Amino acid sequence: MRSSGDGTAGGAGPSPVESGPYPLHGPSAAPSSHPAVVTADGGPGAEQIGYRGPAACAAAGITYRQLDYWARTGLVEPSVRPAYGSGTQRLYSFRDVVVLKIVKRFLDTGVSLQNIRTAVRHLRGRSLADLERMTLMSDGATVYECSSPGEVHQLLQGGQGIFGIAVGVVWHDVQTALSQLHGERVDTGETLVGRHPTDELARRRNRAV
């Protein structure tokens, strides 16, 4: 299936029946399936856990200034809870933090902001299973989605400089980092203390049974 977004990929790109790698471009997102609700361990669940700005920054490897600027400019906005003026705290989901870390890596390698925005929209539209096996590749001008080693090899054969991000690896790096940090239950606002917030949530559920 062809990917989507609004980047500046050259040419018309492959047709939907052709194999990848697929450049991310086009006016609208067309996810392959509905995104799952994501808990702190990266898995699907009915109860979402959010993270405040300092925890999101620590797990993504960015500064609070970057986090604030990206939220205010709409590059990566918190999907759990935005800031509603003075005294309120943004709350980021696990998926948000994964996206933050990927944005940081793309910026560090000189990928254009327009193409990064395309990648962000693309990541938000894909299912959990898609993200775990996806590799994002960029030659600086275009961002591509690759879902197999063969598609990665096809891009590398072009001879130009290529930078790749294995989204599944980033996913697990963020999971490890957040396991050391405090989360917050979205339904009650209760703080869940690391070592792993989902472990604490499970213990409380068991005591309630």
* 154: Cα separation from own chain's centroid: 24
Kindly list the distances between the CA atom of residue 114 and the CA atoms of 61, 81, 103, 143, 182, in Å, as whole numbers in the listed order.
Answer: 21, 25, 12, 10, 33
Q: What are the average pLDDT values for consecutive 10-residue runs of the chain, which has 209 residues?
A: 33 36 47 37 55 95 96 93 77 93 92 90 84 84 84 76 86 91 82 60 51
Give pLDDT, residue 2.
Answer: 33
